[in-house]
Each structure stands twice: as structure tokens, then as C-alpha cells.
Amino acid sequence: MAVKTVTENRKARHEHHILETYEAGLALTGTEVKSLRAGKANLRDSYARVENGELLLYNMHISPYEQGNRFNHEPKRTRRLLMHKYEIMRLLGKTREKGLSLIPLKVYFKNGFAKVELALAKGKKIYDRREDIAERDAKREMDRAVKERLKLY
């Protein structure tokens, strides 16, 4: 099972508590697939939503294909995500809860198909972010101290 990551939304893990992750297929046009394979995509500020029984991805930017002609795609168009109906309805129920949203974490190719890793997430407060940064700094300091201690022996 060959998995080739195209792009990641690194900011998502800093700004949200990730509760669950899901894998969804991505319905694309030909020039979008070629641009994705070239790595020209951006997930910043993108999100997913369930509308009329369909799962849709908004604000994902895929650059127009350089060799594309008049049939090139719109860079920030709304794209359909492919999941089973019961999964979509389950996500609809969960996103109606207060403060939960669907955020794409990464886009990748799996066995030749474009996939999106979606996360059911809850936004972090500013003090949560500061706590995470403080924990990360403390861990870094401990690792550095341990490394220094091991050098002495």
C-alpha cells in the first residue's frame, strides 16, 4: 500500500484538539490530479461541511496546472469528498454539537487515488495553546539535559 503525502495542514494540530480522524476520497478533475501529483496544493484555512447529504471541502487551494489549457480548473472551488452515507450522517450529527468542526489534516495518494485525512476537531483556547507551547519547551529542555548528562559518561 503505497502512500505519498502531497500536503499537510500543520497549523491544524496547533489550533485544534483532534478528537477523531477519518479518510475520505477526493473527487477531482484531470488537471487537479496533475497539480496534486506535482505537490501544488494548500490546506490553510480549509474546512469540510455536510450539506444536502454530501460532504464538501471548502477553501482548499490547488494551483492551476501549468500545461493546462482552457480546461484548467478553478483553484479554490468546492470539492466533493467521498465517504459512505452512514459515515457522512454520523459526521453530520457530530458537527452539530457545539464547537466541533471538520478540518482536513493532509492530502495524499493511496494506491493511485487522492485521499484526504479529515479530523473531527474542537478549537483550542489561547491558554490551551500556551500550555502546549510550555509543555513542548519543557520536554525539549529535559531531552537536552538528558543528552548533556549522557555525554559526560
Query: Which CATH number covers residue 12?
Result: 2.40.280.10
The answer on pLDDT for 88 being more than 80 is yes
The three-class DSSP label of residue 119 is: strand
Q: Give the chain's domain count.
A: 1
Confidence of residue 81 (pLDDT cuts 50, 70, 90): very high
In a domain, 55, yes or no: yes
Q: Is the pLDDT of residue 144 over 70?
A: yes
Give 3's pLDDT tier (boundaries 50, 70, 90).
confident
* CA–CA–CA angle 105, 110, 116 (5° rounding): 25
Q: What residues make up the domain containing 19?
A: 3-125
The answer to whether the pTM exceeds 0.85 is no
**Any domain includes 41:** yes
Residue 19 lies in a domain: yes
The pLDDT, as a whole number, for residue 1 is: 65
Q: What is the pLDDT of residue 149?
A: 82
Higher local confidence (pLDDT), 126 or 56: 56
Residue 151 covered by a domain: no
Tell me if 139 is assigned to some domain. Answer: no
The answer to whether position 138 is within a domain reads no
b/e map 107-124, b = 16+ CB within 10 Å: bbbeeeebbbbbbbbeeb
